[in-house]
Structure 1
Amino acid sequence: MKTETQQRIALSTYFFLSGFCFSTWASRIPNIKMAFDLNEAELGNLLMVMPISSLIGLPVSGWLVSRFESRHPLIVSFILLAASLCLIGIADNLILLIVGIFCFAFSMRIFNIAMNTQSITLQKAFKRKIIGSFHGLWSTGGLLGVALSTLLVKLNIPIYQHLPAVAIFTLILASTAFSFLLKKDRSTQGNKLRLGKPDKPTMYLGFIVFLAAITEGGMFDWSGVYFKEVVNEDVFTLGYLIFMVFMALSRFFSDRIVERIGMERNYIISASLVCLGVLLMIVFPYFWPAIIGFCLVGIGVAAVIPMTFLLAGSSTKYSPGMAISIITTYAIVGMLLGPPLVGYLAHIFNLKISFILFFTSALMLIPISQLFFKQKKENIQE
């Protein structure tokens, strides 16, 4: 087997495990809400711990990608991620829960940057685009994670058994794949992070992933609650499961679609599908319309973040690792800020109305993506 193929399989394992761990946490949020007797606003406050932790991790992640090969922070952060997932599962008071969530978001921040830096560098060894397939495996991991959670909820398996078991299982797989990861990928240029706003192309890409991540993060954390409290379904993980299925399937086809119609048009189509899906589930909050709405949102958000990471990796100002670090800041803040905002809006109005946030975020993707491509064309002409 070729070295590049081994590296791709090993990195694919990490993308899969990342999605599996994240969906395991997200699918159990309704249980945490019920166990600690939290209302929507209180749950929003609890989820706010995650973007705060992520922002604290910004200088750490930027320093790590410039100092070491990406595989080293990748495995260390995954060990911390597994430990924090275990802590969330066994936490019997709010302080321990907050510590677990804080560490989970902090480690996820570093892990995602190291993982995506590897993917951008490894892409150069292949003629065809492979970025979408990595994110497809992230979604597949998320899909299997929520499927397992759905089964365990049905079997009444408690969270303190579920989360530690997932932590141990994923850590064993991560350790096995570590030796096959891409080596010596540390960039010698473009590693300096200057305070202040980045150049215009990078800033536009940051805004794009921020808006996409608001929808993606919100769907991760609130889809279960929406199906339980608005659609009135007992198997509350079903909406999340459908969303993940269609997002995963779309990501495996996204590379070919992008090659055929181009990124500029794909951003417009993706945003339109999300808007349509959100409107459907808001206007018709019943089982089948909600299912179709979740499908459309999953298809719509699927390609946005993989496309944007790939564009960031071609930055002329920053190294791939630093560019990914910068726009991941926007992505994680969006992914982790979206859920608390939904909680606050749901507390003020209701959960159904709060999903308008996703419609607005998706709609804004269209003008901002067009600004990026306009700026890119102007830079080429210069």
Structure 2
Amino acid sequence: MASINKQRSFIGLIFFIIGVSFASWASRIPNIKANFNLNDAELGSLLILMPISSFISLPFSGWLVSKFNSRKPLIISVIVNAFSLILIGNSHSLPLLLLGISLFAFTTRTLNLSLNTQGVNLQKQFDKNILGTFHGLWSAGGIVGAALTTLLLNYNIQIELHLFAIALLVIACCGFAYPHLIKNDKPESGNKLIVGKPDPYIFNLGLIAFCAAVCEGGMFDWSGIYFKEVIDTPIFTYGYLTFMTFMAAFRFLSGSIIAKIGMKNNYMLSAFCILTGISLAVVFPNIYCGLIGFALIGIGTASVVPMTYALAGKSKKYSSGMALSIITTYTISGMLIGPPLIGYISHAFNLRVSFILFAVAGFMIYPISQLLFKRFIHPQENN
């Protein structure tokens, strides 16, 4: 049986390489927009395929993770996800691109659920918070992916070769890690979704996840466009890279920060960092304020999802896998509504105005989280 530290290392490896993969896709969105000559509204309609496909995969992925050990759905979804990345990079017609994006989102849903189930189950064997470091590794992978894209853009490396190489790397790393993942983690109870009145505890966590998803998903999909078209910098990955760098750094620091100030105060700090960062980038759309603003947004969003997932794992009503599946539904809803809506608002007004939506969503994390701790969480559980 693999030691928990070895399992932690290999789960972390998959978090990292999936971060590289997702950032490689997200960093190339401006290229896709230019290659297919899309306006902001058309790009918003294209991006809406991501959450729609994730919604379609909801019953399938939730059933897989609760029915089998989480590592089996994980490796299958990794392979199909890598294939869809190749398809996106090599699509020269809109129907093929739509298929590639849909398949990428469908498998990302199952992949993320399986991987976070592994992380939450391993977290139960540690006294200190390790889930934040897993998400930090995902963000660190995002930094590497964005930096690599920046380098490849400088050398005019085409998207086809770029995404093909990333797909092969993902399959190789995940295949290497697979034998060392947690086995036999199928829960004995709490696997069935109870239809009826939502569980208030999970509902509050879901609302926080929804607001965070609006902000995170929006930054993934629109940060490159914002730096290219509003800030007008030729290397449009600067904004995404800055956002991911500060998100990753503060995910690694989140355990120490939470230990000192508690989750309740950390949610409040996160909300105000997001609000301040977006306000700065919108009011002063220059390269310096844009970078500072996106750094603050990265700091603000860093620990919201890891904290929320960790709290979901403490549900008394559902197993870890089912609780995460429900929370992820709220996350997908945020991605369904947020990034596409940005495209429509931008087309009607401008991109700066549309970013106000992110500011509102980020601020709402504050009152919802305070209500959560007031109603459901004992002060001793604050850390």
TM-score bracket, shorter-length normalisation: over 0.9
Answer whether contact 1:217 1:336 (CA < 8 A) is retained.
no
Structure 2 residue 170 is the aligned partner of structure 1 residue 170: yes
Alignment of 1:114-129 (within 5 A): 114-129=114-129
Counterpart Cα distance in 1 of 2:232 and 2:276? 22
Structure 2 residue 319 is the aligned partner of structure 1 residue 319: yes
Answer whether contact 1:231 1:287 (CA < 8 A) is retained.
yes
Answer whether contact 2:2 2:180 (CA < 8 A) is retained.
no
Alignment of 1:1-382 (within 5 A): 3-377=3-377
How far the C-alpha of 1:378 sits from its partner, in A, is: 8.6
Counterpart Cα distance in 1 of 2:193 and 2:317? 11
The answer to which of 196-205 and 343-352 deviates more is 196-205
Counterpart Cα distance in 2 of 1:274 and 1:298? 8
Q: How big is each residue's C-alpha offset from its partner over 1:289-333, in whole Å with a ceiling of 9 and x where there is no partner?
A: 111000100001000000000000000000000000100111123
Answer whether contact 2:132 2:254 (CA < 8 A) is retained.
yes
Answer whether contact 1:205 1:312 (CA < 8 A) is retained.
yes
Answer whether contact 2:75 2:174 (CA < 8 A) is retained.
yes
How far the C-alpha of 1:190 sits from its partner, in A, is: 0.2
How far the C-alpha of 1:337 sits from its partner, in A, is: 3.4
Structure 1: unaligned runs, 5 residues or longer: none
Equivalent residue letter for 1:367? P
RMSD: 1.5
Equivalent residue letter for 1:175? G
Answer whether contact 1:278 1:359 (CA < 8 A) is retained.
yes
Counterpart Cα distance in 2 of 1:172 and 1:164? 13
Q: How big is each residue's C-alpha offset from its partner over 1:6-47, in whole Å with a ceiling of 9 and x where there is no partner?
A: 100110011112211111100000000000000000000000
Counterpart Cα distance in 1 of 2:37 and 2:194? 44
Answer whether contact 2:315 2:323 (CA < 8 A) is retained.
yes
Equivalent residue letter for 1:283? V
Counterpart Cα distance in 1 of 2:275 and 2:221? 19
Counterpart Cα distance in 2 of 1:184 and 1:54? 26
Corresponding residue SS for 1:195 = coil
How far the C-alpha of 1:100 sits from its partner, in A, is: 0.4
How far the C-alpha of 1:336 sits from its partner, in A, is: 4.5
Q: How big is each residue's C-alpha offset from its partner over 1:204-230, in whole Å with a ceiling of 9 and x where there is no partner?
A: 101101100110110111111100100
Equivalent residue letter for 1:298? G
TM-score normalised by length of structure 1: 0.97
How far the C-alpha of 1:195 sits from its partner, in A, is: 3.2
Q: How big is each residue's C-alpha offset from its partner over 1:40-77, in whole Å with a ceiling of 9 and x where there is no partner?
A: 00000000111110111110111011110000001001
Answer whether contact 1:197 1:203 (CA < 8 A) is retained.
no
Q: How big is each residue's C-alpha offset from its partner over 1:240-266, in whole Å with a ceiling of 9 and x where there is no partner?
A: 001110000000000111111111111
Equivalent residue letter for 2:89? G
Equivalent residue letter for 1:286? N
How far the C-alpha of 1:357 sits from its partner, in A, is: 0.6
